[in-house]
Amino acid sequence: MKIILPILLVAVTAVLIVLAFFGAGQAHGTVGIAAGSAVYGLTPKPATPQQALTNLLSDVQRRNWDRAFDDVSKSSTVTEQAFIEDWTGSNGSLRSFSSLEAFDSRPLHATNDDAQMRVRLHWTTPVGPIEDVRDIRLVREGDIWKAVWPKVVIPNVPAQVIPVTYLRWDLVSGGASDQWGSGNVDAPRVRIISMNAVDSADGAVVMGEVVNEDTIPAFVNVNATLVDGGGNAIDDESSFDKIDHVLLPKQVTPYRIDFPNINLTNVKNVRMDVKATLVPASADPVIGVMNQKIEADPQGKSVLHGELLNQSGQTVNISHVIVSFYDNNAKVVWVADGYVDRALLPQSSEPFAVEIPHSVAGRVQNFHVVVDQFTLGKS
């Protein structure tokens, strides 16, 4: 009797392990898509392109870099160091603070020796979940498949001295004593220059642009309250990160305020409120947005591509691209944003891509891109 219970427990545990192993990696949702999650300890032989890709990405999830690099074909021109850096990020980029949570892959085409797989990577990042889509080529080597990894180009920035002559604003607080009227500095003057409220698939959206009309930098936030016919507030939300918060003098930023699960049918008025406060800031770094173009991506979605060029001498760790899209009446019809997960090294560029919803893509005639940036160690 005493021995039966332990035996029973071991048996049940073994069954559960086997079930978990074979249960994981099974397709769920759409047929033909292999989903992946980390299952430690048991790695099936990469006898198919799907299995090879799953093994590779599982090793990446576990940060088992030696095994992950073993899943890469020797015909690849990438070094192990570059391969690891491609996944882990560097220079304090957004990727270096992110982790691969899950992935989905589907085959694009396959022959006996060569296959192309499209994988959707789900990253957990400090700025929220981010999805990345990559096409990966796999080749058969003997009886197993391996991924062919493209050469990773790391910008080679030559040593140089770049003087910084751009303006910087510092904020000096007044003394502690309350001498009425003696020491006030007015808050920056900012103005909402456009506002458009629309319904979207996820709810109501209020968007537009705001300008800093003052001669000093402003930290800006835009709030909106939806009001019904009786004058009662239905909901109020903030622009959160769909805005470039620090505006230099005469700078314009788009903003977007989302009201999830709310329809504009009952909304009779939108009350806008823009708050601006004094903040220290610098006009450096200057980031150029080059070669902006709207194209269809391999999945058929409209995407605005471009490159961010860091024209300064400091590394920009995290870049945030915010885009306002206009119709042929110069009205803001959508505001989209995206983060670049690689750091912008001095005098070098990185690509960015921002998706345009299908419902809006046909009406877009023009666009304006602003770049918000975060540099480690700076306020």
Partner 1 sequence: MQRHLFMSALCVAICAAVCAAQDIRVPDSATAGAEATISAGGSGKATFYLVGPGVANKSDVALGEPIQLHANDLRNSGTYLAIVCSDSCHSAAFYVSAAKAASVTFLVHPSRVPVAQSDAVSGVAIPFDQYRNLVLAPLTVNFQMTAANASLFARPVRTRDGVAWFRTASGRSAGAVQITASIDDVSARRALQQVASEPCNLRIDGKRVSNGILVQTLPVHDCAGNVVPDGTIVTFSASEAQGKSTVDAPIKQGVAKAQIDASGNTVISAASGVVLGNELRIGAK
Under the rule (CB under 8 A), what is the footprint of partner 1? 165-167, 169, 180-182, 184-186, 193, 211-217, 248-252, 283, 286-293, 306, 309, 311, 367-371
Judged by CB, which is closer to partner 1: 89, or 188? Answer: 188
Judged by CB, which is closer to partner 1: 143, or 186? Answer: 186
Minimal distance, residue 181 CB to partner 1, in Å: 4
Judged by CB, which is closer to partner 1: 173, or 182? Answer: 182
Q: Does residue 44 have a cis bond before it (omega within 30 degrees)?
A: no
Judged by CB, which is closer to partner 1: 328, or 359? Answer: 328
Judged by CB, which is closer to partner 1: 323, or 333? Answer: 323
Nearest to 224 by CA among 275, 271, 274, 276: 271
Minimal distance, residue 370 CB to partner 1, in Å: 7
- How does strand 144-148 pair with strand 168-169? unpaired
Nearest to 46 by CA among 18, 23, 68, 14: 68
Minimal distance, residue 288 CB to partner 1, in Å: 4
Which two three-digit tokens encode residue 367?
A: 């666009």
Nearest to 350 by CA among 340, 337, 338: 340
Minimal distance, residue 92 CB to partner 1, in Å: 23
User: Which CB contacts under 8 angstroms, 24+ apart, belong to 151-160?
Assistant: 151/76, 151/77, 151/78, 151/82, 152/78, 152/82, 152/83, 152/85, 152/86, 154/82, 154/85, 155/345, 155/348, 155/349, 157/345, 157/346, 157/347, 157/348, 160/313, 160/347
Which two three-digit tokens encode residue 237?
A: 């939300």
Distance CA(226)–CA(195), nearest Å, equals 13
Judged by CB, which is closer to partner 1: 77, or 291? Answer: 291
Look-up of token digits 């910008």: 155
Distance CA(94)–CA(97), nearest Å, equals 5
Judged by CB, which is closer to partner 1: 49, or 217? Answer: 217
Judged by CB, which is closer to partner 1: 49, or 285? Answer: 285
Minimal distance, residue 270 CB to partner 1, in Å: 22
Minimal distance, residue 320 CB to partner 1, in Å: 14
- How does strand 128-141 pair with strand 114-125? antiparallel
Minimal distance, residue 217 CB to partner 1, in Å: 8
Contact 137, 76 (CB under 8 A): no
Minimal distance, residue 157 CB to partner 1, in Å: 15
Minimal distance, residue 305 CB to partner 1, in Å: 8
Judged by CB, which is closer to partner 1: 177, or 184? Answer: 184
Residue 131 CB-half CA count within 13 A: 9
Contact 207, 335 (CB under 8 A): yes
